[in-house]
Amino acid sequence: MTASGKDKAGRAALYRMVMPDHLCPYGLKSKELLEREGYEVEDHHLRTREEVETFMQRHEVETTPQSFIEGERIGGHDALRAHFGKARGFAGAYQPVVALFTVAALMALAVGFVSGRGIFSVRVIEWFVAIAMVLLGLQKLKDVESFSTMFLNYDLLARRYVPYSYVYPFAETGAGVLMIAGVLTLVSAPVALFIGLVGAASVFKAVYIDRRELKCACVGGDSEVPLGFVSLTENLMMTGMGIWMLAKVWGGAA
């Protein structure tokens, strides 16, 4: 059997780095994918840097792993996924957002259950929004510098006053924490209302008026989520939560 690919049907060849100081994760993923698709895999280990360089020169490739099926070089892990028609993640570029809001909803239901409020109550909805704010803020706090750079592409206030782009993640997270606890509403609600209104106006102008195609900073500075509906929803959610919490205070229900 050679890498030139004279495989029998149902057989594949995989060349991947297996070194004392490095076990290629994409090689492991490629092997698992091939086996899951029903192939018997000839697993060739490239154990030294010299073997890797020799292999890449011989086959005129720039990366490993490399998979071969029925005499044809498929390529690396991404190419292998494409060959088998595997979509990227379970929701494409929106996967981080879907995962975040799903977890926020489950956490709110869990809190509602253990608190005795039940899972079908207004307080659970409040917890959902507040938890989502904290999780969204946390994504931004992972790398505030990267977030601020992406945020400055479209936020109206940040473009006039750059420090706001650094304050925003702390404001969103802090307001969410206070709302979860149900304390200092006269601090958390105005903050959520203010950043939500400014954010909604910024996104609406950038996307629906200026027709700009940008990435959304809603889940951090490394986000691939397109700016648009998701970011607008985040900001409208905070705006609505701010109005609701202030109404509760003024109505004497808090």
pLDDT tens readout for residues 186-197: 999 999 999 999
- Token digits of residue 252: 């004497």
Same domain as 76, residue 165: no
Q: How do residues 115-173 score in pLDDT, each as one tens digit?
A: 887 788 889 999 999 999 999 999 999 999 999 998 999 999 999 999 999 999 999 99
- The tally of domains found in the chain comes to 2
Same domain as 68, residue 122: no
Range of the domain at 57: 11-83
Give domain status of residue 1, yes or no. Answer: no
β-sheet bridge partners, residue 73: 68
122-141 and 144-151 are packed helices; what angle lies between their axes, rounded to 10 degrees? Answer: 100
Give domain status of residue 3, yes or no. Answer: no
Which one of 53, 83, 113 terminates a domain?
Answer: 83
Q: How do residues 64-122 score in pLDDT, each as one tens digit?
A: 999 999 878 999 998 998 888 876 655 567 788 888 999 999 999 999 998 887 788 88
- Token digits of residue 7: 């495989």
Same domain as 195, residue 147: yes
Q: Tell me how far apart the terminal alpha carbons of the chain are, to the nearest angstrom.
A: 74
Query: Scanning the structure block, which residue is given the tokens 């991404």?
Result: 78
pLDDT of residue 124: 93
- Token digits of residue 103: 């977890």
Question: Can you give the pTM of this predicted structure?
Answer: 0.74
| Helix (H), strand (E) at residue 75 | strand 72-75
